[in-house]
Amino acid sequence: MHYHILDKESLGERLSGNLEEYPHGIVIPLDKPYGWTSADAVRKIKFMAQRHFRLKNIKVGHAGTLDPLATGILLICLGKATKVAERLQAGEKGYIAEITFGSTTPSFDLEKEIDAYFPFEHINQNLIEEKLNGFLGEQDQIPPIFSAKLIDGKRAYEIARAGGNEEMKASRINIMELEVISYSAPVLMLRVRCSKGTYIRSLARDLGSALGSGAHLSGLTRISSGDFSIKNSVKIEEIERILKQNLELSV
| Alpha helix segments (H runs only) across the chain | 38-53, 85-89, 125-132, 156-161, 200-210, 236-250
List the Cα angle 36/39/45 in 5-degree steps: 90
Cα four-point dihedral sign 21, 24, 30, 32: positive
List, in sequence order, every residue forming a beta bridge with 29; answer none if it has no partner. Answer: 75
Residues 29, 234 contacting (CB under 8 angstroms) = yes
Q: Is 67 a catalytic residue?
A: yes
Question: CA-CA-CA-CA torsion for 228, 156, 101, 73, nearest 10 degrees?
Answer: 10
* Residue 125 · residue 227 · CB < 8 Å: no
Query: Which residue in 7, 67, 109, 206 is the catalytic one?
Result: 67
Angle, CA 165 vertex, CA 163 and CA 168 arms, to 5°:
140
What is d(CA 20, CA 18) in angstroms, rounded to the nearest whole number? 5
Alpha carbon dihedral 61, 63, 69, 71, in 10-degree steps, equals: -110
* β-bridge partners, 215: 101
Active site residues: 67
